[in-house]
Structure 1
């Protein structure tokens, strides 16, 4: 195809199916600020130990179908927690996205991609939350919000085994406040910009492979320690016994009627053992998940192997997938089955899940049409590499005049990572957790020029900043919670991420260092 003869916008270039997503990711490195919204496909994510339909199942709904890669945004939005409210600017940029959609292609065809850090909520409820957040020590700061406008994307349909390069030909001036009155670029200018971008990306895809390879999951444990090191130090921000005491404090508060449920997390940290992109390849091999992603924010990188979807919007239809209820995977099929049956029968786990379903129904009812909010799945089982979860699905239809950013504002952060009631639970989190959460328990995702959107919940997530990895892990605390069990659950959830950095407890390659605070 002669790109310079192409006159259609967007410019769509089919790619050869022999290009692996990992290889594309590595080849795009020279462009900078890469993003990979990565569905480690459901067939890859299926458990080989599960055989019959009644046993553990890998998720099979459409949220695992597509992956998207892009880089080099033409416009950036970044805000620290101390900055003025950036939500209006996010809404402005989303509104300026030209409506440009090819019906036969995957839903992200260029647009806004970024991170809503957990602390993005402080602008949504400033009076309630501002004083609480000042009590935390922000020793590894990251932006509370970071987005880019990306004028192109490589879209991958795993079901059809097809890939496309989609270039929109946007001019950065059309998103600039100083050019707000200027008209959109002419068709000729769009074609010129789209051809230029397509030529740039295709040249990189034609280059020899940079040599970064995806490690197999069997190679990951213990292979990533720095030279001369015999173990990896994992540091918790809680002192000995503090996490269990915090759980007990929440249980007592629930007894007083302060809250019904609170999601409590401990933050683990470790020295960054290698480049963030190489580490992400290890993470997706060690802990595959359908809502994974890599986001390079320049001064920080977010690496996520999340199983949880926050908000997916298709043709103004909204779907949210709250996860509550966790049991470990052992590799023993019969034992895993017994643990799954125990979880399915647990009143505590079901009550915890249903509580968050009700919270999400309430959030969606603020921006969706009357009587459209429905629960299509309730407390169903999904299995992943190291854990199995109870997952529910809530669906609704956006009301007329409600934008995607309006929907995000109404529902953020997801109830599964706060608790209920949401504001009171977030106050408790800020009081008991020593540090801000950063990207953890926020969301990574896109708002497409197609009018669609997809955001995950940033759990099973590592953030790399200042050569330190932040690895927070948590769980929902209810009136029936036992402190030792809740602490143990956080380590179960951390297993895949620790394995990716070579922190294997059984081999002696990991050592825990607790906070000196008492």
Structure 2
């Protein structure tokens, strides 16, 4: 039984904290801003799929009984495989879970609605409690390789661009570690959520978990009017505590020819990707080089929309444009080959977390500002990454500093 009667406001993170030990516990936490009006909390999925996929697997996977009230994660490496070949990975291509009951939190109206079983949802609400303040949950935060190795990777990509091999590639660094004995992924999420973003997420499935504080929309799809929208991010400056300096950094980003060119390359790539599933002439750039500011960084964000062809569903849209162009480069196929030469498999990082609601509307984020966790011998281990878009005039030290700006919130959440 579902209920459309709204319930008085309760913080979604408090409800999630009460569900932390339940199977499939989920919190999709928005900042309540213009890009994130709704948050969602659920647990106890009635169907879960964890699997590898063939080249056509994504479209089929979300069109056969897993296309409503479904949450899924697609690993970056599945989409990169046509360019990189088979690489041994520890993370599955796809995780899907269907939720018969879900709580929907409307930040604008400050109301909560129930999808599904009202009795079950009532028990979840009764168990809500604020997450207890915790000590820094990580024992260590260890970089995969020395800074010089990253600078050398950037320099190599610049040479390849100069040789005409590609125009841009997003190259990342990684960090890993282990949580304390008494810590778990929700402790990390509660600390990271203090710097809100529109596409925050905590999801625990078996011995795997994701914690994300992503600012980036990958794609939305509305089956009613067939509208598709993507908002790629390219261009970053670190925030400053000094208001005048912070404003100067934002102005510098807006005026930066390098960052605008980098953003435009990805906009063109996304236009091309969307055209594969869209009606001819419907792909439109609605917004170009808009400034969006978050807790630790400023970004340049553009908006591209299209109208999907009849018969195209959410899985087909994902399949046509995955992986996100903002985290690969251009041309996408060659950029992914170059990335694989400098990085181990990425797992869920730079893949996508998506939700398809009860009427088939899909919202998918880009899994940046994201931590992948897995349990070994009753301890949680983690890995996270941060990257930068490398272009012809990239400076290796400046790109290193950009990755530092992007990872700072995660480092603070883990280490304090």
1:204 aligns with 2:124: yes
Task: Give the C-alpha shift of residue 445 in structure 1.
Answer: 1.4
Tell me if structure 2 keeps the 8 A contact 1:260–1:478. Answer: yes
1:430 aligns with 2:337: no
Q: 1:121 maps to what in 2?
A: 79
- Report deviation, 1:352: 0.2
Quote how far apart the aligned CAs of 1:240 are: 4.5
Following the alignment from structure 1 to structure 2, what is the Cα–Cα distance between the partners of residues 24 and 146?
A: 23
2:244 and 2:269 map into 1 onto residues whose CA distance is: 34
Which residue in 2 is equivalent to 1:386?
Answer: 296
Give the drift of 1:13: 4.9
Q: 1:264 aligns with which of 171, 191, 206?
A: 171
CA distance in 1, matches of 2:337, 2:58: 26
Picking from 35, 40, 48, the partner of 1:68 is 40
Structure 1 pair 204/156, CA: closer, same or farther in 2 (3 Å)? closer
Paired with 1:69 and 1:204, the residues of 2 have a C-alpha distance of 9
CA distance in 1, matches of 2:137, 2:119: 39
Q: Give the alignment partner of residue 112 of structure 2, picking from 155, 163, 184.
A: 163
Counterpart CA distance in 1 for 2:386 and 2:347 is: 13
The aligned counterpart of 1:304 is 212
Counterpart among 144, 151, 159 of residue 244 in structure 1 = 151
Q: Does 1:27 align with 2:18?
A: yes
User: In the TM superposition, what is the alpha-carbon distance from 1:69 to its structure 2 partner?
Assistant: 1.2
Asked whether the equivalents of residues 111 and 447 of structure 1 are also in contact (C-alpha less than 8 Å), the reply is yes
Q: Which has the larger radius of gyration?
A: 1
More strand by share: 2
- Find the counterpart in structure 2 of residue 455 from structure 1: 364
Name the SS for the 1:436 alignment partner. Answer: coil
Q: Provide the residue aligned with 2:265 in structure 1.
A: 355
Residue 145 and residue 225 in structure 1: after superposition, are their counterparts in 2 closer, same or farther (change >3 A)? closer
Q: Is the 8 A contact 1:97 1:449 kept in 2?
A: no
Q: Measured at CA, do residues 31 and 235 of structure 1 come closer, stay the same or move farther in structure 2, by a change above 3 Å?
A: closer
Output one character per residue of 1:52-87: Cα deviation in whole Å (capped at 9) or x when no partner: xxxxxxxx3xx31111111111111112xxx45285
Shift of 1:129: 2.5
The answer to whether the 8 Å contact 1:306/1:461 transfers is: yes
1:423-465 C-alpha deviation (Å, 9 max, x unpaired) = 10000111111x2111100011112230210000000011112
Of residues 127, 130, 134, the one that matches 2:85 is 130
Task: Compute the displacement of 1:30 (Å).
Answer: 4.6
Note if contact 2:147-2:400 (Cα within 8 Å) is conserved in structure 1.
no
**8 A contact 1:114–1:295 mirrored in 2:** no
CA contact under 8 A between 2:220 and 2:230: conserved in structure 1?
Answer: yes
TM-score when scaled to structure 2? 0.93
Any idea what the Cα deviations from partners look like across 1:319-354, whole Å, max 9, x if unmatched?
100000000001111101111111111111000000
CA distance in 2, matches of 1:35, 1:152: 11
Cα distance between partner residues in 2 of 1:277 and 1:479: 41
* Contact 1:445 1:453 survives alignment (8 Å): yes
SS of the residue corresponding to residue 323 of structure 2 reads coil
Q: Report 1:64-463 matches (<5 A).
A: 64-79=36-51, 83-85=52-54, 88=57, 91-96=60-65, 111-122=69-80, 125=82, 128-131=83-86, 133=87, 138=89, 141-167=90-116, 197-207=117-127, 209-210=128-129, 212-213=131-132, 223-224=135-136, 233-273=140-180, 274-285=183-194, 287-314=195-222, 315=224, 316-433=226-343, 435-463=344-372
What runs of 5+ residues in structure 2 fail to find an aligned partner?
Answer: none
Q: How far apart are 1:471 and its partner, in Å?
A: 1.6
Distance 1:278 1:117 in 2: 24
Distance of 1:254 and 1:90 partners within structure 2 = 33
Work out the number of aligned pairs and report it.
408
In structure 1, runs of 5+ residues without a counterpart are 1-5, 43-59, 99-109, 168-196, 227-231, 504-518
Aligned-partner Cα distance in 2 for 1:204–1:375: 42
- The change in CA–CA distance for 1:397 and 1:353 in structure 2 (over 3 A counts) is same
Verify the 8 A CA contact 1:301 1:465 in the aligned structure 2. yes
Task: Report the Cα distance in structure 2 between the residues aligned to 1:203 and 1:458, rounded to whole angstroms.
Answer: 31
Give SS of 1:470's match: strand
Change (3 A) 1:401 1:16: closer
Q: Matches of 1:463 and 1:299 in 2, distance apart?
A: 11
Q: Any conservation in 1 of the 2:9–2:110 contact (CA below 8 Å)?
A: no
